[in-house]
Structure 1
Amino acid sequence: MDLIVADVGGTNTRVARARREADGWSLHEAQRYPSREHPDLASILEHWRHEYATVDTFAAAGLAVAGPVHQGRARVTNLDWPALEAATLGERLGMPVTLLNDFAAIGASLDALQPGDCETLQHATPDPAGLRLVAGAGTGLGTCLVGPPGRPAIYPGEGGHARFSPAGPEEAALGDFVTRELGYCTREHLLSGRGIARIGQFELDRQADPELAEALSARDPAAAIGELARAGHPAAENVIDRFVGLYAGQLADMALTALPTGGIYLAGGIAPRWVDAFRGPRFRCAFRNRPPMTHLLEQLPVALIMHPEPGLLGAAVCASRSATP
């Protein structure tokens, strides 16, 4: 079975052919398109199909979208495109189309991941009947709850737009810094690519640093700060350390709300690039620092998804349910 799958984000749209084999899913002819350089999703899909697809017939399409999806209709949160409608796209493509939230797609990918697709950040025994939590920072911050393994229940959320809750005076000062800029501070305002730049600016305002200032003026400040940190630059390392601590703390707040005893999974484009920082003690200490519930958080398994395209994988899983064999 061959499917068209796409992961539609505010920055990039990734398209591929998904094929289900006896031992799992494989992805082929994957291409990345700058989303803002195209007028809509259908034009991207048609270009990919004409230029890159190596088969003519597809059973269905699964399209993961960075935004809420309701009754087969969606808008990409950080992209000025017309609304997406599954029925209209299906008519244009000539196949059944499944629209789903991008983090619902990552949630759907969990049972299709292979053992080597995840990096363990906190060892604990998962409850086979427990909920699972997926969260990930990239262009924005996505969240999703997933039912136990073998059950396709997926509960997309918009937890990234909840207000940021600081843990201590340093984080409160950072939240005030963002509030002065934007009028309020959400989790996504800090846990995203633009959030890394805001953390960097916060550090720069406290202490001048020409190299950090240069990184902040780059086209992709988050990537530039990461490169600077890998070179051992103290101010850039402070930015990453603060980002990791913030990420862990907000993840702990989400975990205490849902109690995902089946496991917590980090996704998104940022954390896999900084896996060494997430393996370190800063993440675990900040994640557990929610007294009097420290003991409860210590019992939750936490993993970082290292599969390069979990959104495409999950889109394939969901689309396959509507495909004609």
Structure 2
Amino acid sequence: MARIPLDQPLAFPILIGDIGGTNARFSLVVDPYAEPRDFPIVHTADFATIGDAIQAAVMDKSSLQPRSAILAVAGPIRGDEIPLTNCDWVVKPRDMIAHLGLVDVIVINDFEAQALAIANMPDEFREPIGDRPDKMLASRVVLGPGTGLGVAGLVHAEERWIPVPGEGGHIDVGPRTARDYEVFPHIKTIEGRVAAEQILCGRGMVNLYNAICAADGIAPKPYEPKDVSQHGLDGTDRQAVETLTLFATYLGRLAGDMAMVFMARGGVYLAGGISQKILPALKKPEFRAAFEDKAPHTKLLEAIPTYVVTHPLAALAGLSSFARTPTRFGLALDGRRWRV
């Protein structure tokens, strides 16, 4: 693949897409000034390939045909065939160029799109946790507990935003309090490790609930993540209530760790479906207390604001920002851009 400079612009209209394991969301950016045109959500299981989905959901529904595409996918981007982590689709940019009339395709990590989104997230789509004001145009972090646990940094340097994807959801976490030491021995491990994603995602929430029940010597109920969060929020299950308390605590600890790694004075943002659903639990004291409890750097953490992202299409908003003004961002595209 030839090296293509970032300053070589994409051709409008630009198709943007957020491809998850269950759903795919598409919008069309007509020009740098128009609001994106959204299309109905697509269920990935309904289509054999991403090309079929784009043809049916976008091409067949619009007189404006995209010339370029920017796709955010959950999966490693290596080579010309990109398998998705939780979906049978394989993204093949060269095939998309050949069969969909596109001249330019960019594929990035799904949490890079979330990082792009928090560069300029309007106040109406970010719910503050605590009363620390957003004072600085500075580096940021986004964490997304959902099906898994995504983490990305957004570094501000030389008047540009530089997204930094990674696998922060898989770092080790461990016990600190006496109650932690009672619960942690019962948490399911990955080859002996308790990684953050073993606790801070949908299945992780169930894992944590089951561990609390084991520590209490009772049989867990056959809950799904939504059951744990619902019973925890309405107070109808004591172990579910503690699950949300500890979930908020452990998420606060991890968020504080990531804030220190990236020196995220511009704020830490919680994305993903779970953050919005358990917002009342995150607004209780435990999250901020754990976030700030980073001696000898407590004062640093106290000054960093934290938010829950409430935008319904945050990843698409981030992709739209990049499509309209790519020079605002330092997005590494080597090996991730295909062009006619």
For this structure pair, what is the TM-score category when the shorter chain's length is used for normalisation? 0.7 to 0.9
Q: How many residues align?
A: 312
What is the CA–CA distance in structure 2 between the aligned matches of 1:261 and 1:73, rounded to whole Å? 38
Amino acid at match of 1:261: R
Q: 1:31 aligns with which of 26, 41, 52?
A: 41
User: Structure 1 residues 190 and 152, CA, compared in 2 at 3 Å: closer, same or farther?
Assistant: same
Q: CA deviation at 1:305?
A: 0.8
Residue 10 (1) aligns with residue 10 (2):
no
Q: CA deviation at 1:179?
A: 4.6
Q: CA deviation at 1:70?
A: 4.8
What is the CA–CA distance in structure 1 between the aligned matches of 2:64 and 2:206, rounded to whole Å? 44
User: Structure 1 residues 302 and 205, CA, compared in 2 at 3 Å: closer, same or farther?
Assistant: same
Residue 65 (1) aligns with residue 82 (2):
no
Matching residue of 1:92: 99
What is the CA–CA distance in structure 1 between the aligned matches of 2:75 and 2:275, rounded to whole Å? 20
Residue 225 (1) aligns with residue 228 (2):
yes
Q: 2:110 aligns with which of 80, 85, 102?
A: 102
Secondary structure at 1:261's aligned position in 2? coil
Matching residue of 2:278: 274
Q: CA deviation at 1:199?
A: 0.9
8 Å contact kept, 1:16–1:30: no
Residue 193 (1) aligns with residue 202 (2):
yes
What is the CA–CA distance in structure 2 between the aligned matches of 1:101 and 1:21, rounded to whole Å? 23
8 Å contact kept, 1:98–1:318: no
Residue 115 (1) aligns with residue 142 (2):
no
Q: CA deviation at 1:270?
A: 0.6
Correspondence 1:236-247 to 2 at 5 A: 236-247=240-251
Across the aligned residues of Structure 1 and Structure 2, the Cα RMSD in angstroms comes to 2.8
8 Å contact kept, 2:139–2:156: yes
Amino acid at match of 1:251: A
Identity of aligned residues (%): 25
Moved more, 287-296 or 227-236: 227-236
What is the CA–CA distance in structure 1 between the aligned matches of 2:56 and 2:85, rounded to whole Å? 23
What is the CA–CA distance in structure 2 between the aligned matches of 1:275 and 1:258, rounded to whole Å? 24
Amino acid at match of 2:232: A
Larger radius of gyration: 2
8 Å contact kept, 1:167–1:249: no
User: Structure 1 residues 281 and 42, CA, compared in 2 at 3 Å: closer, same or farther?
Assistant: same
Amino acid at match of 1:3: I
Amino acid at match of 1:4: L
Q: CA deviation at 1:302?
A: 1.3
What is the CA–CA distance in structure 2 between the aligned matches of 1:171 and 1:249, rounded to whole Å? 13
Q: CA deviation at 1:37?
A: 5.4
Moved more, 192-201 or 162-171: 162-171
Correspondence 1:32-181 to 2 at 5 A: 32-33=42-43, 35-36=44-45, 38-49=47-58, 53-70=61-78, 74-82=82-90, 84-95=91-102, 96-122=104-130, 123-128=132-137, 130-148=138-156, 151-179=160-188
Secondary structure at 1:147's aligned position in 2? strand
Q: Deviations over 1:272-291 (max 9, x none)?
A: 11111111211111111122
Q: Deviations over 1:37-67 (max 9, x none)?
A: 544322322231256x333312422211123
Point out where structure 1 has 5 or more consecutive residues left out of the alignment: none
Amino acid at match of 1:147: V
User: Structure 1 residues 17 and 227, CA, compared in 2 at 3 Å: closer, same or farther?
Assistant: farther
Q: 1:312 aligns with which of 309, 316, 332?
A: 316
Secondary structure at 2:16's aligned position in 1? strand
What is the CA–CA distance in structure 2 between the aligned matches of 1:266 and 1:180, rounded to whole Å? 24
